[in-house]
Structure 1
């Protein structure tokens, strides 16, 4: 795109450039001047800087400046900038760090990528983290973040930590729970959960130790990020994956579900059969309250088909629970000393509590037997319609 085309697109799409800054007096001028080459639609959030940032910003009357009295973190600065951008009528915000690592001349990369999309998208700059000068801790942190983003959303990206991004302001969540560096993880994960496409675009990066001032605190911020990922993973396993499955199932007929999610789903027939077998085993085992967490975790660990494993684990739906309990107690009776006439009693929690060992033994035997039978049955069924090739 030519410069006039980029400028017209920025105006047409109602894009602003958002620059959060804190004590980056060495590079702030260069960043703002570079951005002004493309647009004056700039919002700078001065997050309680104590250097000459205020004096520098006063020399740019044509841009919007928000000055916060106290430094509360990058996440808080971005949220403040997003609110202001929406108040001013902008639909998109390109965020660029003020420490000089991002090149303003990559703004056209984001604009062109947005113009080529048919729907709103969240774009993240993909830096070359293998180039000379990139700190090893930054490369490791990026790989760490990429893995957990994939686990939490199913989306594989090469860079999830770059602060050079384009946000669709009207689509991203309105409320957030994190105020500092971990905010940039929270927002992309929760946006992906809202079915907003999240993609990488190639950008350049400059790490100049003579100029760059990083406010990332390795121990404190990495701990906060780890805690956030723990929470996001738990939400993914307990709520997001089951929600997505149910929503997907509702949109399809049973025949279409079998065709697309069973016959055409990822994995060989053996993997699909093993996924079902494991789901049945977890569903019938005495892991009440943890079945979804276990089945999804084990599916990821052993690279199984998560959808099939989750479906199979629902063999323990509430209407079936009394029959599962009765069968478990009946099967476990020969292995313990006790009342052999136990199934004539009322099936309730007290019955299980008073005969816990009998129930556990019986449920494990039942789960093992049914998982083997279901796995074999599914394998034979799949092989009939789509035989595996040697």
Structure 2
């Protein structure tokens, strides 16, 4: 604990039955403890008087676990700690698992790491709503970050304090524990699970999670994060990778080097081109990622080719869509690229544009999909021939 600059942070609210036992258990392993009393109205203050050696922060009013954790992180940084292990005060966590977090951190190649305890959600005393909520949370965390975890809701965690300090965190209650791991992952922190034990003693345990309001708050937060991930994070990360690796390396590794069959790659190209040329502006990223996931296609390839609609190409796409739509409807249009980009005249021919863009999208997908398939097939055979020497 000393070498790694780690403390144990215990947020507590009306858990006077279990708090003393939790603190005594932690003291068997370390004296680096900070307790945040989140405006408790039971005998918590009396219990904490028995632990004068433990730094304590007493909040006048209960504002939620997220608020208590933020205050605790700030206090830990003031005391010059680099990491904080958070333990709930309801007795469900085993203090001996502190060693699990420390051992994992010592072996980790990067110190910009956030560990979440992975509970055995199949054990008999785990409430059904906790198991369901965890699966629900795991799915959305994966969708938002691309990182699949076995447990995203466990409060037994190790936080890298200096990295957490960089984040703009707002939520005050239980949804904070979702906000912090998603934003940390988006900011480059590695988020991983470590196995921990769990105990649900219904006689002693007091939970302050209110199923309807708290689940609603978490759902609203995830809805916002999904939108941010689709329209900002995923495009940002893709362009960063593409910029770092270059187009040539992307083509060699993701397109040619992928183990996917040429047909799967070709369908991914076709999907990307179709979505990129389609009239669903503002939804291209959402649609291409969703459909690539549904049809189990190559998401990097599909996303890359959906960018045929980059801003410099948009006037040309609109122009040819209008010309095709006008030809199909027997209503040839006399528009120029200048009128499209300055006067937006195409908006009065919206039906023509939509029809033409859909036809253009289908034709573009077919042509580039077939060309891609033939090229991938040819290059695959050539590679086999070279290897066989």
TM-score (norm 1): 0.93
**Structure 1 SS opposite 2:193:** strand
How many angstroms does 1:345 deviate by? 8.3
Which among 366, 369, 373 is matched to residue 367 of structure 2? 373
Is 1:138 the counterpart of 2:156 in the alignment? no
Taking a change above 3 Å as real, the CA distance of residues 270 and 339 of structure 1, as seen in their structure-2 partners, is closer
342-351 vs 237-246, greater mean Cα deviation:
342-351
Is 1:49 the counterpart of 2:40 in the alignment? yes
CA distance in 2, matches of 1:366, 1:339: 16
The residue correspondences of 1:144-155 to structure 2 (distance < 5 A) are 144-155=136-147
CA distance in 2, matches of 1:345, 1:85: 60
CA distance in 1, matches of 2:71, 2:139: 29
CA distance in 2, matches of 1:95, 1:310: 38
Is 1:110 the counterpart of 2:104 in the alignment? no
How many angstroms does 1:302 deviate by? 2.6
**Structure 1 SS opposite 2:139:** helix
Q: Which residue of 2 aligns with 1:39?
A: 30
Deviations 1:8-53, CA, capped at 9 Å, x for gaps: xx11111000000000011001100000001111000000000000
Which among 316, 325, 328 is matched to residue 309 of structure 2? 316
The residue correspondences of 1:254-333 to structure 2 (distance < 5 A) are 254-265=247-258, 267-333=260-326
CA distance in 2, matches of 1:72, 1:376: 59
Q: Which residue of 1 aligns with 2:387?
A: none
Is 1:167 the counterpart of 2:159 in the alignment? yes
How many angstroms does 1:144 deviate by? 0.6
Root mean square deviation of aligned Cα:
1.8
How many angstroms does 1:187 deviate by? 0.6
For these two proteins, the number of residue pairs brought into alignment is 380
Q: Which residue of 2 aligns with 1:6?
A: none
Q: Which residue of 1 aligns with 2:207?
A: 214
Which ranges in structure 2 are unaligned for 5 or more consecutive residues?
A: 385-389
249-258 vs 59-68, greater mean Cα deviation:
249-258
Taking a change above 3 Å as real, the CA distance of residues 265 and 178 of structure 1, as seen in their structure-2 partners, is farther
Is 1:383 the counterpart of 2:377 in the alignment? yes
Which ranges in structure 1 are unaligned for 5 or more consecutive residues?
A: 1-9
273-282 vs 157-166, greater mean Cα deviation:
273-282
Taking a change above 3 Å as real, the CA distance of residues 12 and 341 of structure 1, as seen in their structure-2 partners, is closer
TM-score (norm 2): 0.94
Q: Which residue of 1 aligns with 2:114?
A: 122
